[in-house]
Amino acid sequence: MAMSTATDPVASFERLARGRARAGRLTHLERWPARDGRQVPWPTWTPPELVHRFHGYGVDRPWSHQAEAAELAWAGRHVVVATGTGSGKSLGYLLPGLSTITGSAAGRVKDQPTVLYLAPTKALAHDQLAVLGDIARDLPVVRATAVDGDTSRDERDWAREHASWVLTNPDMLHRSMLPGHARWARLLGNLAYVVVDECHHYRGVFGSHVAQVLRRLRRVATHYGAGPTFVLASATVAEPAACASTLTGLPVAAVTDDGSPRGPGVLALWEPPLTEMRGEHGAPTRRSATAETAELLSDLVVDGVRALAFVRSRRAAETVALSAKRQLANVEPSLADSVAAYRGGYLAEDRRELEQGLRSGRLLGAAATNALELGIDLVGLDAVLVAGFPGTRAALWQQLGRAGRRGRSSVGVLVARDDPLDTYLVRHPEALLGKPLEATVSDPDNPYVLGPHLCAAAEELALTEDDLELFGPNARTGVDALTADGMLRRRPRGWFWTRRERACDLADIRSSGGPQVQVVEHPDGRVLGTVDAGAAHTNVHTGAVHLHQGRSYLVRELDLAASVALVERADPDWTTTAREITDIEVVGTSRSRSVGAATVVFGSVRVTSQVVGFLRRLLTGEVLGEEPLHLPQRQLTTAAVWWTLDEARVVSSGVRSTDVPGAAHAAEHAAIGLLPLFATCDRWDIGGVSTALHRDTGQLTVFVYDGHPGGAGFAERGYDVVEQWLATTRAAIAGCECRTGCPSCVQSPKCGNGNEPLHKAGAVALLDVLLAGRADTMSPGSTI
């Protein structure tokens, strides 16, 4: 008799999904058969010793997309590889980079070609260094090293004098290598390739900064006589070539046809059921994604399926693991210890032990924060459960990519949270499974971002007239303003930096601009982190519940004069939402067009807001009470997209005039909830204002603006795809089975107005009028 083996993961999942108590929760099951890889010959220019090394490393021949990218890069074309997780994008740059270096082995160190590799995190750069070390073990000419904040002076000196492959991050480039470029002249002057790995991380304000750092890099490299080819690697996103081009300022070709193999599997979209509980304004609430995930996790573990659940916070990781253990203790006590929590903040050895346990099968299940998303190698699971859409498709596929053991099928499950985006996604699988909609946007022309980099560039090398084009259309105005302010001085050879301090200190590329408020733990005075001053009023006001790396704190005091929020550890069973009054003023119009019955505008606005109090709310949504706050007004000048409807159209929608404000407000909330489907933003990166009559437009107006000074590219992306965006918004509202609005459609967890007034049916009617005459209004599938 054959030995019994563990259940096939897909069969196990299908059986538990069929359970009668779970009817209706599985909203979609996408199956894919195993896909054979497409291998192609090594490019003819690959040095034989390199082919030999790759064979030794287990790479027989490249997959088609790897060769395609490598050929383009070898020919000097800037290229972005945007293929699936685990498809081996790195060969696309390793092949031309290593071939160039080994091919010129005869030359002196001084003239040898070099490669600069940029990763968004130190951990990833070190992982890549390890891979490179393995492949290039017998190739002494490849002298690779990582340079980051932890690198010793000796190591840095060695890198400057000898390294042919330097792995670093944009922060190092910005603060150290570019300002001190003379000492890196050998590396910069021989640059053959610049690799920008995981480039979808460079989005929003951070992406805008990195785009300017790359322009500075290009200018300095040119100064030393180099013209490197850029090779970028990205998760699958919409318009990868355009995104990579915005980031580098160069024309970039995209490779998107994935030639790597994959095993058979399924992706399940899962919606927790509505409960008897009532939330804000009596809205129906769903069972939480974490409770649902814990149950699925324990059921899979009972079947011997190795499963990993991704959750948002440390507390949720502990909760899911604990409740899965409890359920297992009831049905299969011997398995209760086979589930663990795995989260950021554990000691390295504990993490390694957990990883080892999962690989060996001693552990069958774990609940993890996304701490292991980057840099840690944990693969070979049978099933991945994702509790709540992690914000971008790229992050979702990265998490799902952890499933798939050799010769076994794999299961991925997205469990929806109770919000408009998650709800939309589990009901519209085409938005996840079709062509990607979300683009990695940034706005390098943002004057708040550009200014500091112009200063840094001028300090690196005098800025000339010819340089201005490189820094974009706002460079001229920016330089003039900086000159008028005395930051730059014009001399015959160009603009110079005039100050004693380092110009690069003007830009903190990881912050979203503006001063920071320090979050300090009471009583020991430990600094937990910082919050942008702009967000401090709403996030860390006195009395707020503040989450930091998955732990919760209560804010004792927000001291604006000292820029400090004093917090203490607490586990309250309520959350807080700031009550805020907001006023918005149109500053200027950049572009506008007619869409259906509406006029849609992209332009700049001044948002004036004041936090006046906060609500305390139980986790179920029930409101405990409101407390007043006395905080000063704040102003934000930023980019916005807005649409207006004239009175006749509003009347034609049939919405009663008293319901119009609620209808516009509801449409605004849902639109904000859905924008992350099109731009790599979080709903917390954007804000909105809606009004039945706005004094600047004289019409009903709904604004959606970037929450960062000068803008971050999100509103602009919204403008570019406004038809699809609003059609999707309409479908999300209309498709929700609640009667008068709930967190799955028009209620917003960050509403400054306590989700009042909201009129769900009116929002649909307004959007119908707005989109009238557009054939694809009713079928988002056709627009995707």
List interacting residues with Zn ion (CB under 5 A): 736, 738, 742, 744-745, 751, 753
Rank residues 86 and 749 by Cβ distance to Zn ion and give the closer one: 749
Does the N-terminal peptide bond of residue 523 adopt cis geometry, omega within 30 degrees of 0? yes
Closest listed residue to residue 714, CA positions, set 682, 668, 746: 682
CB of 738 to Zn ion, least distance (A): 3
Rank residues 59 and 615 by Cβ distance to Zn ion and give the closer one: 615
Query: CA-to-CA distance for 171 and 291, rounded, in angstroms?
Result: 39
- Are 567 and 576 a contacting pair, CB within 8 Å? no
Does the N-terminal peptide bond of residue 515 adopt cis geometry, omega within 30 degrees of 0? no
CB of 573 to Zn ion, least distance (A): 24
Rank residues 255 and 426 by Cβ distance to Zn ion and give the closer one: 426
CA quadruple 48, 49, 54, 56: dihedral sign: positive
CB of 690 to Zn ion, least distance (A): 8
Rank residues 277 and 738 by Cβ distance to Zn ion and give the closer one: 738
CB of 669 to Zn ion, least distance (A): 6
DSSP single-letter state for residue 176:
I
CB of 647 to Zn ion, least distance (A): 23
CB of 776 to Zn ion, least distance (A): 23
Rank residues 576 and 744 by Cβ distance to Zn ion and give the closer one: 744
Element housing 64 (H / E): helix 64-74
DSSP single-letter state for residue 403:
B
CA quadruple 421, 422, 428, 430: dihedral sign: positive
Rank residues 620 and 753 by Cβ distance to Zn ion and give the closer one: 753
Query: CA-to-CA distance for 344 and 339, rounded, in angstroms?
Result: 17
CB of 577 to Zn ion, least distance (A): 10
Residues listed for the chain:
784
Give residue for tokens 């054959």.
2
The strand pairing partners of 605, in sequence order, are 586, 638
CB of 751 to Zn ion, least distance (A): 3
Give residue 510's identity as a one-letter amino acid code.
Answer: R
Closest listed residue to residue 148, CA positions, set 128, 132, 127, 167: 167
Both tokens of 129, joined, read 């260094």
Question: Cβ of 23: how many Cβ atoms within 10 Å?
Answer: 10
Query: CA-to-CA distance for 729 and 716, rounded, in angstroms?
Result: 17
CB of 757 to Zn ion, least distance (A): 9
CB of 439 to Zn ion, least distance (A): 26
Give residue for tokens 């998650």.
422
- Please, how many CA atoms are within 13 Å of residue 309, restricted to the half-sphere of its CB? 36
Both tokens of 344, joined, read 């950021």
**C-alpha distances in Å from residue 314, one per residue of 317, 345, 357, 526, 546:** 5, 9, 20, 19, 13
Torsion from C-alpha of 271, 273, 277, 279, nearest 10 degrees: 20
Strand order in the sheet with 527-532: 527-532, 516-521, 564-569, 551-559, 545-548
CB of 667 to Zn ion, least distance (A): 11
CB of 765 to Zn ion, least distance (A): 16
DSSP calls for 461-501: S-B-GGGGGGG-TTHHHHHHHHHHTTSEEEETTEEEE--SS
Give residue for tokens 């193999």.
261
CB of 767 to Zn ion, least distance (A): 15
- Are 111 and 225 a contacting pair, CB within 8 Å? no
The strand pairing partners of 146, in sequence order, are 167
Rank residues 66 and 288 by Cβ distance to Zn ion and give the closer one: 288
Query: CA-to-CA distance for 74 and 193, rounded, in angstroms?
Result: 10
Query: CA-to-CA distance for 209 and 709, rounded, in angstroms?
Result: 13
- Are 749 and 684 a contacting pair, CB within 8 Å? no
- Are 454 and 425 a contacting pair, CB within 8 Å? no
- Residue 682, SS3 per DSSP: coil
CB of 732 to Zn ion, least distance (A): 9
Question: Cβ of 134: how many Cβ atoms within 10 Å?
Answer: 12
CB of 583 to Zn ion, least distance (A): 14
